[in-house]
Amino acid sequence: MAVLPIIEARDLWTQRGQQTIHRDLQLTVNKGDIVGLVGGSGSGKTTLLRAVVGLDAPVKGEVRLFGVDPIRAGRSSRLDARRRMGMLFQGGALFSALNVFDNIALPLRELKSLDEPLIRDLVMLKLSLVEIEVEHAAKMPAELSGGMVKRVALARALALDPELLVLDEPTAGLDPDRSRSFVSLVQALSKEYGLTVLMVTHDVETLTTLATRVAVLAEGRIVADGKLDEVVKSDHPFVKSFFGHMQAEPASLLNSRH
Amino acid sequence: MTANSIQLRTRESGERVVTLAGDWTLASIRNNLTKIRKSLKTAAKDASLVWDLQSVEALDSTGAILIWQAWGDKRRDGALLRPEHESVLERIAKIPRNPPLRRRENLLGLLVALGRKEFELVGHARGLLGLLGTLVLDVGRGILHPRDLPWREISATVYKAGAQAMPVTALVGFLIGVVLSYLSADTLKTYGADIYIVDLLGMSIIRELGPLLVAILVAGRSGSAMTAQIGVMRVTEEIDAMATIGISPSMRLVLPKMIGLAIAMPLISIWAITAALAGGALAAQVQLNISFLYFFQSLPAAVSAANIWIASVKALSFGAVIALIACHFGLRALPNTESVSSAITYAVVSAITLVIVLDAIFAILFRSIGF
């Protein structure tokens, strides 16, 4: 049996209002991939993530998440697919009425089959994964700094031990030290669980150290897709301007990869 | 996904071994958690057993924590693990036990809360006074430099809070007129005082109900919108952005709302009063056989023109108070959604309460005028 791709977008067309964002976009993410999605402002990176997880319906084409249509499939299979992934939103999107602990416990409690002692340890584990100290657990999201909101949101995305992480700018707003520990956390998780990651990022360091694949989004489609050193060689004007400094001196930067 | 299993075996050497196998993940555990926990607990009771986890295919944090808890929150001596699962347990070993998840409650909690409320009240009074003072300065500056006044925003407020409120105020006014007239008709008929319906409705609607009704509607409709707008602008830091550009938030946001609502309120009050009187006259025609024409012809004799001025003055001050309260709560909202939602509630409730207090004060002030 052929292994089903985790994410598959075929001939995807999406719109925001009257504006067409993606035209005939193709994207496949296989198990274990850590895909960095790169593109200029307004090129539809976030829209693509939203379409992939089934928040927005595509105008044309189809999306498969774990082999299921995340919008039109039956309720239980749709829910199953969603529970196998965790999403980190750009602004964190923590529930402001719940404290840090309850924010992370919410997806676990929603399963309605775990008991509180188990949930408590699971939440504390996720908090220690993202390096949030225990004394912050009772705080409300409004009392957290921007970087902490990001990390708590990541802990919430990891709550259900997802097979797929969808991350919208995970390292934006983190200091270099924290973004490095984020990178090593994702690397460790992917090694242990075979975690698959689709992330939007502008951070070249995250791309070079973490992503096993880079997909470049421009003109409504993926214009380059592959290993970073292959993508860098592409002739597309956006790739040239984004990775220009790397094309000039590829050796020094590429050698820093693990 | 393979199902998880737990088996007890005795090796040839006489060692008894607990063997865990299959997937120990959230998906495989969640549907029979109690059963799995029970069998783990039973196995863990016997300290002489050796745990063999090498046949476990997948171990996620849920499965690992479940086993860890069965072991009594510590690593079981001699447990055999696959090397890749070792790090999962290592992480769990670092989880703090019994974290302080609830903030400690003070024993004098009630008293402290009461005191805090009192300070809050004083804080609101001072904030309102401060805002009012800033507005007076803004008006002073506006009189000296009329070009600085936010004319466009004032007209926007008049349109949004006034013109767009016309349908709903007319409908509510009309219905209240009908109800009042309908209910009074029977009593008046008993005393043969049918024609006094004009005095009754005229006086109560123009002097009292019209402005009050409109104030309550506008507080709910526009007051809440103003608090929400300013509150969200705080969440998105727009107010701070305005300040850095050199625009005074009070001049650009609060003043136009106050002036705009002070202009719009008397106008919609008159409009709602007209609708209420029309409703009352209609019901009077049906119930008491008093013609529509007669009703309005005898109105000026029953209700002196001074009452319309009183109604306008009341409406004007209600409008200003609603806008002031709404903006005050909006500006005090903290930059989070929870705080904005409670700010809106407080704004509408306090605006309506203050309007009614003000109405009582006006009733005493104007007691010898217009009868």
pLDDT in tens, B145-197: 888 888 999 999 999 999 999 999 999 999 999 999 999 998 999 998 888 99
Best probe of the B interface among A79, A114, A118, by most B CBs < 10 A, is A118
**pTM of the complete model:** 0.75
CB contact under 8 Å between B334 and A124, yes or no, is no
Sign for the CA dihedral angle at A247, A251, A256, A257 comes to positive
Query: Looking at the partner chain, which of A114, A135, A192 has a beta carbon nearest the beta carbon of B88?
Result: A192
pLDDT tier at B280, thresholds 50, 70, 90: very high
Predicted pLDDT of residue A1: 45
pLDDT over 90 for what percent of chain A?
8
Predicted pLDDT of residue B104: 61
CB contact under 8 Å between A121 and B68, yes or no, is yes
Predicted pLDDT of residue A191: 79
Question: Strand A164-168 vs strand A196-200: parallel, antiparallel, or unpaired?
Answer: parallel
Whether the per-residue pLDDT at A72 is higher than 90: the answer is no
**Nearest-angstrom CA–CA distance, B211 and B276:** 11
CB contact under 8 Å between A118 and B84, yes or no, is no
**Nearest-angstrom CA–CA distance, A214 and A65:** 19
Mean pLDDT of A223-249: 78
Best probe of the B interface among A121, A132, A160, by most B CBs < 10 A, is A121
Q: Which residues of chain B have a CB within 8 Å of the CB of A118?
A: 33, 62, 65-66, 69
pLDDT single digits (tens) A173-186: 788 888 888 888 88
ipTM tops 0.95: no
Mean pLDDT of A8-19: 85
Mean pLDDT of A96-103: 88
The pair of structure tokens assigned to B28 is: 């495989």
CB B89 within 8 A of CB B64: yes
Q: Which residues of chain A have a CB within 8 Å of the CB of B93?
A: none
CA B167 to chain CA centroid, nearest Å: 25
- Residue B144 three-state SS: helix
What residue has token string 């013109």?
A: B163
pLDDT tier at B306, thresholds 50, 70, 90: very high
Does A4 contact chain B (CB < 8 Å)? no
pLDDT single digits (tens) A100-118: 999 999 998 888 888 888 8
Whether the per-residue pLDDT at A252 is higher than 60: the answer is no
Q: What is the DSSP string of A73-121?
A: S-HHHHHHHHHTEEEE-TT----TTS-HHHHHHHHHHHTS---HHHHHH
All residues at 6 or more sequence positions from A159 whose CB lies less than 8 Å from its CB, including other chains: A86, A104, A105, A106, A107, A108, A122, A123, A126
pLDDT tier at A2, thresholds 50, 70, 90: low
User: Taking all residues of chain B, what is their mean pLDDT, rounded to a whole number?
Assistant: 89
Whether the per-residue pLDDT at B12 is higher than 80: the answer is no
pLDDT single digits (tens) A118-145: 888 889 988 888 888 888 888 888 888 8
User: Taking all residues of chain A, what is their mean pLDDT, rounded to a whole number?
Assistant: 84
CB contact under 8 Å between A128 and B61, yes or no, is no
Q: Phi first, then psi: what are they for A166, rounded to 5°?
A: -110, 115
Mean pLDDT of A189-213: 85
Cα→Cα distances A92→A88, A151, A170, B317, Å: 6, 8, 9, 43
Predicted pLDDT of residue A258: 45
Name the residue type at position A30: N
CB A36 within 8 A of CB A48: no
